[in-house]
Amino acid sequence: MDFIWYILAGIGVGFAVGMTGVGGGSLMTPLLLMFGFPANIAIGTDLMYAGIAKSTGVVMHAKQGHVNWKIMRSMAAGSLPASLLTIWGLSKFHAPENYQTILTSSLGVMLVATAVVLIFKKKLINPVKTQTRSPQKSHTYIFISGIVLGVLVTLTSVGAGALGTALMMLLFPAMSARNIVGTDLAHAVPLTLVAGLGHLALGNVDYSLLVALLIGSIPAIYVGTKVATRVPNKVLQPLLASALMAFGLKYLFF
């Protein structure tokens, strides 16, 4: 019976992702915690789920020429080593119980940050549209941003989508929306897979849960994208941002 509930959870998150475009980590991890999974299992399983579920999307964007591989490599050069170092750091705690507080506190920070990005995205982006920045500086900044994302995504499974997209919009304002989405997705897949495999090595992945989430979410994402055209995004995203903010504050202070 639990397996059915996990499939339904995958359907719910997949549908929401398809409708809003917000990454599954910010939705899935809090939901798994509500189901009673320890933070390490919720985060590790969600990272593997995200890496697998998003892989087909990268292939589609790459075929359509929507991936800026130079920017993707600059970000990955920072995020992938940072993710591996974070996994190594967690392994030094010897038992998941010893780093649960770090995971939940980091999760709270990332959920609040994601909510802020959703609410204030236009105000954050518009002021930098008129600014000029050398390509070399932008790639240096995106490399540093990758390091920060690598650590935080590995600790929380949140941020590879919403925060990665916001960073690219800030640093590369001339990029088209489809190239930002494609490039961010191309970076998110190896990052979540590396982080997920690291958590797998730490014993933080529940295989039956992973299968159930994939069964439910993959078709639901497709359905959500079709329904999204009929529901105003200006209604959906504030509601979603409010929920993420509430979860984030809960994990930070309670």
Instruction: Give me the number of domains the chain comprises.
Output: 1
Please give the pLDDT value at position 151: 95
Percent of the chain with pLDDT over 90: 33
Looking at residue 132, its pLDDT comes to 53
Q: pLDDT tier at 233 (50, 70, 90 boundaries)?
A: low
Beta carbons of 216 and 16 less than 8 angstroms apart: no
Rounded Cα–Cα distance for residues 210 and 50 (Å) = 10
pLDDT of residue 130: 46
Domain with 88 in it: 2-253
Instruction: Give the residue-averaged pLDDT of 223-228.
Output: 71
pLDDT at 230 over 80: no
Query: How far is 98 from 94, CA to CA, in rounded Å?
Result: 8
Q: Is the pLDDT of residue 237 over 70?
A: no
The per-residue pLDDT for range 168-190, each reduced to its tens digit, is: 888 887 788 778 888 888 898 89
Residues in contact with 169: Cβ distance below 8 Å, sequence separation at least 6, in sequence order: 121, 125, 175, 180
State the pLDDT confidence band at 23, using cuts at 50, 70 and 90. low
